[in-house]
Amino acid sequence: MQTNRELIKIFHGPQHPGITGNMSVELDLLGETIKEAKTHVGYLHRGFEKLIERRTIIQAFTIVCRICVPEPDPNEENFARAIENLAGIEISQKAKYIRTMVLEMARLASLMLWMGGQSGSIGLGTIGQWSIYDRDLILDLFEELTGGRVYHMYIYPGGVRRELPIGFLDKLSQLLDHLEKRLPLYDNVFFENSTFKKRAIGVGVVNKDEALKNGYVGQVLRGCGIKRDVRRDNPYLVYDNLDFEIPTFEGCDVYARAMVRRQEIRESIKILRQIVEQMPTDGKIMQKIPKHRKFKIPKDDTFVSVESARGEYGFYMAGDGSEKIRRMQVKGPSLIHGFTLLEKLLIDEELSNVALIMNSLGICPPEIER
């Protein structure tokens, strides 16, 4: 008897508990094996690049942070640095240290959110409850520093917006002590869990030889043993004064990327402790910049990038001599990972591994379609 098996088409998303945002993958299935995958985005398009063209620089600074939802601060830093490059503004050492501190705290918060997502995708709901609580403590500190929990609007072209509150650095040290005490718990239940190892080892294997040419960034490269990080290769702010390691892991699969992120949490805590010790006590936090309708940038263009929790995040910016920006183009790490890499990795995979691979690559739909 011959069974007639034909391909079934399903949409994985845009509403699915294992997905890191709103995007869908159109899958052609033969039984439970995927034969073809196509990514669809467009559920979160808010049109930031067109909105910026009608607003002056200071007005545009307030909406730039909303481009990426889990980690808004790299957007603000890129925007501020591009404006400072074009307008020729130098910021003080104290402002640089405060900005580095904010970026590292945002990286920790984003990695906590990743842990909840990755463990949820294999069915381990407990880790999500714990890591969201730890992230909440980081957001409490942000609330005290900047006035808002998720969208800070704090890194301003010219410096930062507010002074550090009194006793803030002590509270930060206490939080880092608390986080270090919680890390063995995550190790016992998640990273050393034999179920996770069985699900993750050998799944989502990236081809190491073409990884650099195809433009992959972040943990996808570091999980293949290739040590690349913007903070070390093309340093910005005060990263060349700080002592930290770039973790790598061989294996190129989901497990290797999870191990890299586990080590990055520890490195971030180490960097924050050094910043607390080295923070300058005097210095201006904000340079004098013109009023908002008189702040003009010359006709020139530039490209800046930072290392976010998911990889290299780049901005291209062009000014035209007026008080409005001519063009700001955003390129997040998920643009390449979400299309080229995901469609390649999903071929011949099981249906239940789709959410696992998407969380492991760190795909964040808001930054693909801004």
Partner 1 sequence: MISSLKKYYEIEKKRDTLFKTHIEKEELLKTIDFITINSNFMTLSQIACADWIEDEVFTLNYILTTDRRDKNLMIEVNIPRVDSKLPTLLNIFPQSEVMERDLHEMYGIDFIGNSTLYDFVLEDWKEIPPLRREFDTLEYVNKHFNFRIGREDNRDVKVEIKRRRAEAKRLKNANK
Partner 2 sequence: MKDIDIKGVISPFSAIAKLFEQPNTICYPAEKKSVPKGYRGFHTNTLTSCIGCANCQDVCMNNAIDMIPIEEDKNPKNSSGCIPRIDYGRCCWCSLCTDVCPPSSLKLEEDCIFATDDSNNFLYMPKDK
> Among candidates 139, 137, 119, 140, which has minimal Cα distance to 128?
119
Strands across the sheet with 325-331, in order?
A: 300-308, 311-319, 325-331
Least distance in Å: CB of 76 to partner 1?
19
Contact segment (CB under 8 A) with partner 2 among 111-119, 194-202, 230-238, 310-318 equals 194-202
189, 246, 276, 285: which one contacts partner 2 (CB under 8 A)?
189
274 vs 302 by CB, closer to partner 1: 302
DSSP type of residue 190: I
Binding-site string for partner 2 from residue 128 to residue 157, where x marks contact by CB under 8 A and - marks none: -----x---------xx--xx----x----
62, 234, 278, 352: which one contacts partner 1 (CB under 8 A)?
234
CB 331 within 8 A of CB 181: no
Q: Which does 245 bind (CB under 5 to 8 A by kind): partner 2, partner 1, none?
A: none
The SS3 assignment for 45 reads coil
CB 325 within 8 A of CB 57: yes
39 vs 360 by CB, closer to partner 1: 39
Least distance in Å: CB of 91 to partner 1?
15
Least distance in Å: CB of 344 to partner 2?
30
Written as one string, the DSSP assignment of 336-370 is: HIIIIIHHHHTTT-BGGGHHHHHHHHT--HHHHH-
Q: Cα angle vertex 162, ends 46, 326, to 5°? A: 35
Binding-site string for partner 2 from residue 275 to residue 294, where x marks contact by CB under 8 A and - marks none: -----------------xx-
Q: Are strands 24-30 and 33-40 parallel, antiparallel or unpaired?
A: antiparallel
DSSP type of residue 224: T
50 vs 213 by CB, closer to partner 2: 50
Classify the phi-psi angles of 219: left when phi > 0, otherwise alpha if psi is within -120 to 50, otherwise beta. Answer: alpha
CB 198 within 8 A of CB 255: no
213 vs 291 by CB, closer to partner 1: 213
Q: Cα angle vertex 150, ends 101, 84, to 5°? A: 50
Site membership for partner 1, residue 59 (CB under 8 A): no
H-assigned helices in 165-291: 168-186, 194-200, 219-222, 230-233, 254-278
Distance CA 135, CA 109 (A): 5
Binding-site string for partner 1 from residue 267 to residue 306, where x marks contact by CB under 8 A and - marks none: ----------------------------------xxx---
113 vs 309 by CB, closer to partner 1: 309
266, 339, 350, 351: which one contacts partner 1 (CB under 8 A)?
339
Q: Using CB under 8 A, list all residues that contact partner 1.
A: 41-42, 45, 47, 49-50, 54, 85, 212-215, 228, 230, 233-234, 301-303, 312, 314, 316, 318, 320, 326-327, 329, 331, 335-336, 339-340, 369
